[in-house]
Chain A
Amino acid sequence: MSRVIIRNLNKRFDGVHAVKDVNLEIHDKEFVVLVGPSGCGKTTTLRMVAGLETITSGEILIGDRIVNELPPMDRDIAMVFQNYALYPHMSVYDNMAFGLKMRGFDRTEIASRVKAAAEILGIEEQLQRKPRQLSGGQRQRVALGRAIVRHPQVFLFDEPLSNLDAKLRIQMRVEIKKIHDRLGTTAIYVTHDQVEAMTLGDRVVVMKDGLVQQVGEPLELYNEPANRFVAGFIGSPAMNFATVEMADTDGALWARHEGIRLKLPAAIADRLRQHVGGKVTLGIRPEDLRVASGSDTADLSFDAVVEVIEKLGSQILLDVRVGPNMMVAAVEPTVKAKVHDRLRLALNPDRLYFFDRVSQAAI
C-alpha cells in the first residue's frame, strides 16, 4: 500500500506561515496534482513529503509509516525536479544508475533496470551522452528515468514541464500520464498550470495562501467550484465575475447589475432567496455564453459591446463590455463579429455560479 497521508501539516519560515493545516489522503496508485499560483505552498508541501524541508507541525505518512523524521533517502520516494537536476558530470546511464548504486544494487540488476526505463522513455540512444548534449525534452526524460528505475512507492513531481516549450509540454504530459498508467505508482504532482492539473490528475488539490481551497476530480472542480478562487483558477479562459443585486419581483428572483438583468430559474432561486436585497458575486464561464438568437428570452440575455476579438480557430474569444464590467465570451468560430459591434449574449441558466461576497464561498 503506497498511500500518502498528510495530517494537519504546517510550515512556517521566519514568520511566514507558508502551509496552513493541510490535510490530504492520497490513495494507492492515485495521481494527485497540487495546483495554485506562486507562493500558495504547493511546492513546500511537496518538499515536506520528500523530506527536503522540515515540518513545523503535523504528520506525513508514506505507506503506513510516519516519515516526519526520516531523511529523504529512507522515504522510498523519487522526485523529478523543475530544472531536471541531472548530475552534469555523469552520463545519462550513470545519472539513472546513481540511485541504484547508492542503494547497493548489483551491476546486472542496475543495467537491466536502466535499459528497461530507457526503452519506456525512448532514450536508449542517449545513454552514453552527458546531460548538456541533450535537448530539454530529452533531459526531462532522463530525469523521469532516474525516478522510474528506483521503483519507489511514490513519485513526486515539482513542476517538471515548466521549462519546456508549449508543444513539448503537451507531448511530455501525455507521456507522464502513460507512464503512470503503466507503472501505477502513487504520484504527487505540483504545477501552477491548471490545464496540466486537469489533464493529469485523478484528483486535483487547489491551494492558495497555504490553504487547501478544494480537493476533487477535475470536472468536479470545474463544475462545482467550492469558492470564487477555485472558480476563477480552474477553466481557461477564466470565469467572468460581476457583482449583482438580488431582487424579488412578483415571486421571481432577479440578479441585477448595470447592463445585466437576469431572471433566475426556480431551481437556483431557492438557494439565493436569503440574499434578496443584498449583493452577491455572479460567475459565468466564457464557454457558457453565446450570441443570442431570436428564441432566447430577454430574461436570460444581456447586451454587450465587442472590444477585442481573439480568433483561436476552434472558437472565438470576444472580450466584451457589459455595463462597467469586462467579460469574455467563447463563441462558435462561425460568429461574425467586429470590434465595437453591439451584441446580445445569451447564457445557460443551469450554469450560473453565485458566490458570497464576504466569504467567497459558493452559494
Chain B
Amino acid sequence: MVIDSVAAARPYVAAPRRGPVTRVLENERWFAFFLLLPTAVLLGLFIAYPFVKGVMLAVTDAKVGVPGNFVGLQNFAVLMNDSIFRIAVWNTILYTAVTTVFKLALGLWLALLLNRHFRAKALTRAFILLPFIIPTVLSTFAWKWMFDPTFSVINWTLFHLGIIRTRINWLGDPQLALISVMIVNVWRGVPFYAISLLAGLQTINPELAEAAAIDGARPWQRFRYITWPLLLPVTMVVVLFSVIQTFADFQLVYILTGGGPANATQLFATYAYQVGVGTGLLSEGAAISLAMFPVLLIVVVVQLLYIRRVETH
C-alpha cells in the first residue's frame, strides 16, 4: 500500500524526443549566439561599418566619384590649418557648454516644479514634452519663421511693447545667430532634462525631505544636501546623453542658418556635411567628423568614471 502510493506520487517523465534545432539551442553558447545575433547585425551594419568606413575615408584623398589613395594623416594636418575648422571647433564647444548649462538649470527647475502636487499635473507634464515630441525639422522651421527678419513674431512683439525700435536680425547677425541657434537647442532639449530629472526625483523617498525639514534644513539646504546629491547619478547620465547629442547636433543649425552667416554658427557636423557632401571632398568631411571622436570619447570616459564613483560611494 505504502509502496503503491509512493510509486503513484512519482512524477511522470516524458521520454525526450528533441529535434536538431532544439538540441543546438539547448547548448548555452549557441543559444547566446542566436540571441545576440540581431543586435550584432544591426550594430555592425549601422554603427561599426560606417565608423570603419569613415576612418578609412579620412586617411585617403577620396572625392565623390574618385576612390582615392592612402594619404595617412594628411587630411587632419590640413584641418589644423583650416580657419573655418577652428571656428567650428570653438563654436561646437561653446554651443555644447552654454546650452548644456541652460538645459540643465531650466530642466532641473521644471522637474522640481513638476514634482509638486498641483491640479492638472499629468496634463502639464504632457505639454512639457511637446518640444521633444514634435519632429525637430518641423519645430525648427517654426523657429526660423519666428526669427525671420521681416516676419518675426518676436520682433513684432518687442516692437509693440516698445522695447525695440528697429528690427533685430536674429539669424543674420553673426553673434546673434549663434545665440538664436542656442535658444532653439535649449527649447528643444529642456523637456528631456525635465522629464528625466523628474523621474530621478520621484525615486527619492519624500520622507528624506521631511526628515531634513525636521532636522532644520531650509528649502535651499534640503536641495543642496539631500535632493541634489541623490539626483546626481541620474543628472550625470542625462548630461552625458545630452552632451553627446548636442556636440553632434546638425538639424537645428542646418535648417536655421546652414552654418552661416560667414560660418558664425558652423559646428562640427554642419562643417563636415558642407565639406564632405556639399563640396564632394569625402575624405576631408570624414576627417572633420572623426575629429569629434576623441573629444566625445574623453567626455564619455570622464563622466562614466564619475558616475561609477558616485554610485560606489
Contacts and interface: CB of A to CB of B under 8 A. Distances in A.
Contacts of B211: 79, 81, 85, 87, 146
Nearest to A77: B214
B213 interface: yes
B213 A81 contact: no
Contacts of B218: 73
B303 to A, nearest CB: 19
B205 A83 contact: yes
A267 interface: no
Given A98-B225, A102-B221, A85 B207 contact: yes
A52 B212 contact: no
B225 A85 contact: no
Nearest to B221: A102
Contact of B217 (A73, A146, A150): A73
A85 B208 contact: yes
A353 to B, nearest CB: 40
Contacts of A83: 205, 207
Interface string A96-121: 00110011000000000000000000
A271 interface: no
Contact of A73 (B214, B225, B229): B214
Given A81-B207, A85-B208, A85-B210, A98 B230 contact: no
A85 B205 contact: yes
Interface in A117-169: 146, 150
B224 to A, nearest CB: 11
B236 to A, nearest CB: 14
A182 interface: no
Contacts of B210: 50, 52, 72, 79, 81, 85
A71 interface: yes
A146 B217 CA distance: 14
Contacts of B217: 73, 98, 102
Contact of B215 (A51, A52, A89, A146): A146
Contacts of B313: 89
A105 B221 CA distance: 16
Most buried by A among B208, B210, B215, B225: B215
A81 B205 CA distance: 12
A102 B214 contact: no
Nearest to B211: A85
A50 B216 CA distance: 12
Contacts of A77: 214
A129 to B, nearest CB: 12
B81 to A, nearest CB: 49
A48 to B, nearest CB: 13
A85 B226 CA distance: 11
A78 B207 CA distance: 13
Nearest to A83: B207
Nearest to A52: B210
Contacts of A50: 210, 214
A88 interface: yes
Interface string A46-66: 000011100000000000000
Interface of A: 50-52, 71-73, 77-79, 81, 83, 85, 87-89, 98-99, 102-103, 146, 150
> 10 closest A-B pairs (Cβ-Cβ)?
A99-B215, A102-B216, A85-B207, A85-B211, A73-B216, A72-B214, A72-B213, A89-B229, A103-B216, A102-B217
